[in-house]
A and B are shown apart, each in its own frame.
Chain A
Amino acid sequence: MAQAVIFPKLGQTMEEGAIVKWLKKEGDPVVKGDILFEIETDKANLEVESFFEGVLLKIYVREGITVPVNTVVGYVGAAGEKVPDQAPKAAAAAPEPAAPPPPAAVPAKSSAPSAPAPVAAPAPVAAAPAAPRPAPQPAAAAPAARLVISPRAKALAKDACIDPERITGTGPNGRIVEKDVLAYLAASGYDALRITPAAKRLAAEKGIDILTVRGSGDAGRIMVEDIERAVRRRPVALSRMRQIIARRLVESKQTIPHFYVTVKADITDLMAYRADLKAKGFNYSVNDFVLEAVILSLEEFPIVNSVTDGKTVSWRGDVDLGMAVSVENGLVVPVIRAAQTLTLKELNAQTKALAEKARTGKLTPDEMTGSSFTVSNMGMMSVDQFMAIINPGEAGILAVSTGRQVPAVVNGEIKIRTVMAMTLSVDHRIVDGSVGAQFTNAIKSKLENLELWKSLV
């Protein structure tokens, strides 16, 4: 009997996803372990294997369509076996009640970002605790009134490479007739428009209204390059990752009253100590020290490691530290679990491993879920100061900037010191200014306390 192929739930918080690519066609033989399709979640691209053997009988969900998890996307069975024409409503309604075990998901290669990315990004958003959210509505096109136009007028507009939607019709019921097009062309300076033959062909091919194009050639002549620019101006759907980022950022900024506290840490001594360690073969990054200082401070200020819904506040308990990593066209936030239990050495190892996984697209959805506080470090990107947006589900985020040599006053004298700005963004509903200030200063004093680091290394 035919077995339903379901869209897997690959993480605790995963609610929906889209098939990016089917690797099998209807009618293709399938053995256990074959990759059936590749899916895109809000976190990563993953490959889904078949748990059945037979022939891929039916595909219900085409590439690029977002569906809830557990949707039946197809059937595998014996060749010629009958399957429903329409997809059953949900997995439970499948003819074979045996819900197959969730297919193993392995990260797909295609999701690997090619550009090495610094461990930094201002607005981590991917790691949020489970919160019900509406399925995204497909962007409904504005219901365009059907254009009433005569065939001659239509042909003329097409020949002129202009968009007839912009023309006001004078015929019965506002029908656009040939003379309306001619009048429009005359009024819009069409005759003065200069365009190369190849550019006009390309405009016709791509459906570009040449009245909307600015010419860059001799005396404003429209060139092929200008049409290509016009084509590039058309809206392009954001990647799923960017859409999720967009939604989360808006949600955060609209529901969490942010306020910001900036403190500058003098890391001159720490940098020297780090260089010493490096010479001895211990490779710690500045980020390791920052993360450790944040972890220790969160233990001191549990309210910053909490979350509120506006009515209640819950302490998150463990420090599940999110670390924003920018990847190609987006960013991900891998989570260091129970970071307060790790030694500096373990923290360093985990950070490296997670950053590497992020860069190669190998993070699993669960590794990107459930952080309780996030650090976004743009130190590698030469920034003086920036403010990050809080991940929904957390109380704060620390934006770490570049350590710079500046003249600083030390014991009443001006010295050259390496100073690094850190800006805390925090939820004002549960954290007040004084706590924000104390918390950020706690991080600073830890970074400046060399004795602490000597005891931790």
Chain B
Amino acid sequence: MYDFDIIVIGAGPGGYPAAIRAAQLGKKTAIIEKEAFGGTCLNWGCIPTKTLIASAERYHHAAHSQDFGVAAKGVAFDYARMAGRKAEIVSKLSGGVQMLLKSNGVELIKGAARFEGTNRLSVVQPDGATRWLSAASIIIAAGSDSAMPGFLPKDKRVMDSRAFLDLTELPKNLLILGGGVIGCEFACMAAALGTKVTVVEMLEDIVVVLDRDVRRVLRKRMEALGITLLTGAPLTDIAVKKDKVTGTYKDQTVEGDVLLVAVGRRPNTAALDLARAGVKADERGTIPVDAQGRTNVASIFAVGDLVTGSIQLAHAATQQGVAAAEAASGFKSKVEKVCPSCIFTSPEIGLAGLTEAKAQQLGIAVKTAVFPFSALGKAMAAGETDGFVKWVCDPVTGQALGAQAVGCHATELISEAALAIRNELTIDEIGNTIHCHPTLSEAWMEAAHAFHGACIHLPKR
């Protein structure tokens, strides 16, 4: 007999929902966490960054509301207090996760886990003692860490996003390596608080998963915030010089008080000793799984950032975690195909399903329909007219295959699109659904009308 029916390794957004679901299904469940309940998302990712972004937005709005008839004098911010508020919220949520796990009867085990066999784990606990555990099924949800390539100097001024979040004072000049989602989010947050930001991205453009028209809006707004975007060439000759970090982009020398490294994430699989369980990982350390999250070993599942090809987002991990817990409990679950993405830049971006560029790459014929916020009353009222929403549709049936939104509250707006795509609505159901006026979500309905060239609120072309 095993000690547990199911053991989950890692209590991040993939692991803790998996453990709760397993417990709900009546399984004797344990969860092992080596650092902080809630994982990267809650402690060093989504939640702390969004807390800081909320502070930055408050400040930005307070300082820039003259056009709205609001004059505030002497608007100032205290980054240390912002950071303190962040720490409070994180601690509250992390406590909440532990409470949820306990209330469902999940046993919480602190320590670093490694495989000792297909059904066996050892856990080095905080007091140094090793505990041996066994389970019928094991769900690996150990997540990922920022990749810190070897060519970077080892210095406290060269940091990943997690170390950056621990700062109690913002740098005056921030150099960011990597213009992906994380690099751009931090760039916008720091720039809104007056930091001079330079982003260097080796690829042709920032956030290349997005369609070009969406990127164009983001790029323009980031540049308007004073961010220098250097793309299409790598940052070389990176060196720490006394109180700054310097590097070379093309022939130009760039510098910052610190260098934030945001070049992707690395799966936390090396320390797990997967080979002892016979679990196969690919050369990048990620684990290939089937539609239910099952690894090559039938009783072992993997979810979240460390899964091959998985979209590295908290909500993707959560859905995978629940599906894996159900599969490990003998149900025929499956991982959902449509997973929306949210990018907390300024302006925000939401993405779900197929992009136009991806469709082109796959040779799928699509028809797009766009509606700009500049033509929406609510956007004008809110002073947020940059950006647009866009449907990517099947040209014959009008099925919504993908959507992107860039602009104010785009990360909230995208959920409606995800609902439509997941449930295979056509552009007509969307266009025929009454949307509240005046709201930003009217843009989805208007864009649906644009599919047929029948927008009420755009001049006839």
Chain A residues engaging chain B, CB cutoff 8 angstroms: 196-199, 201-202, 205, 223-224
Contact with A along B412-428 (1 / 0, CB 8 A): 00000000000111101
What residues of B have a CB within 8 angstroms of the CB of A201 in the complex? Answer: 396-399, 426
Q: Are A198 and B396 in contact (CB under 8 A)?
A: no
The distance in angstroms between the C-alpha atoms of A202 and B398, with both chains bound, is 10
Q: Are B396 and A197 in contact (CB under 8 A)?
A: no
Q: Enumerate B384-404 residues with CB–CB distance to A below 8 Å.
A: 394, 396-400
What residues of B have a CB within 8 angstroms of the CB of A198 in the complex? Answer: 394, 397-400, 424-426
Q: Is the interface of B mostly helix, strand, loop or mixed?
A: loop
The distance in angstroms between the C-alpha atoms of A201 and B424, with both chains bound, is 10
B429 on the interface (CB 8 Å rule)? yes
Q: Is the interface of A mostly helix, strand, loop or mixed?
A: helix
Q: Are B397 and A196 in contact (CB under 8 A)?
A: no
17 contacts between A and B (CB under 8 A): A196-B424, A197-B399, A197-B424, A197-B426, A197-B428, A198-B397, A198-B398, A198-B424, A199-B424, A201-B399, A202-B397, A202-B399, A205-B396, A205-B397, A223-B424, A224-B399, A224-B424
Partner of A196, one of B396, B423, B428: B423
CB distance from B399 to the nearest CB of A (A): 3
What residues of B have a CB within 8 angstroms of the CB of A197 in the complex? Answer: 399, 424-426, 428-429
Interface size on B, residues (CB 8 A): 12
What residues of A have a CB within 8 angstroms of the CB of B397 in the complex? Answer: 198, 201-202, 205
The distance in angstroms between the C-alpha atoms of A223 and B399, with both chains bound, is 11
CB closest residue in chain B, given A196: B424
What residues of B have a CB within 8 angstroms of the CB of A205 in the complex? Answer: 396-397
Interface contacts beyond A196-B424, A198-B426: sample of 11 additional A-B pairs, CB < 8 Å, sorted by A: A197-B429, A198-B394, A198-B397, A198-B400, A198-B424, A199-B424, A201-B398, A201-B399, A201-B426, A202-B397, A224-B424
Q: Enumerate B344-397 residues with CB–CB distance to A below 8 Å.
A: 394, 396-397
CB distance from A215 to the nearest CB of B (A): 11
What residues of A have a CB within 8 angstroms of the CB of B424 in the complex? Answer: 196-199, 223-224
CB closest residue in chain A, given B429: A197
The distance in angstroms between the C-alpha atoms of A198 and B398, with both chains bound, is 7
CB closest residue in chain B, given A195: B424
Q: Enumerate B149-199 residues with CB–CB distance to A below 8 Å.
A: none
What residues of A have a CB within 8 angstroms of the CB of B423 in the complex? Answer: 196
Question: Which of A196, A197, A201 has its CB near the most chain B CB atoms (within 10 A)?
Answer: A197
What residues of A have a CB within 8 angstroms of the CB of B426 in the complex? Answer: 197-198, 201
CB closest residue in chain A, given B393: A198
The distance in angstroms between the C-alpha atoms of A205 and B399, with both chains bound, is 13
CB closest residue in chain B, given A199: B424
CB distance from B359 to the nearest CB of A (A): 15
Question: Which of B394, B396, B397, B425 has its CB near the most chain A CB atoms (within 10 A)?
Answer: B397
The distance in angstroms between the C-alpha atoms of A205 and B400, with both chains bound, is 16
CB closest residue in chain B, given A222: B424
CB closest residue in chain B, given A201: B397
The distance in angstroms between the C-alpha atoms of A205 and B429, with both chains bound, is 17
What residues of A have a CB within 8 angstroms of the CB of B394 in the complex? Answer: 198
What residues of A have a CB within 8 angstroms of the CB of B425 in the complex? Answer: 196-198
CB distance from A225 to the nearest CB of B (A): 9
What residues of B have a CB within 8 angstroms of the CB of A202 in the complex? Answer: 397, 399
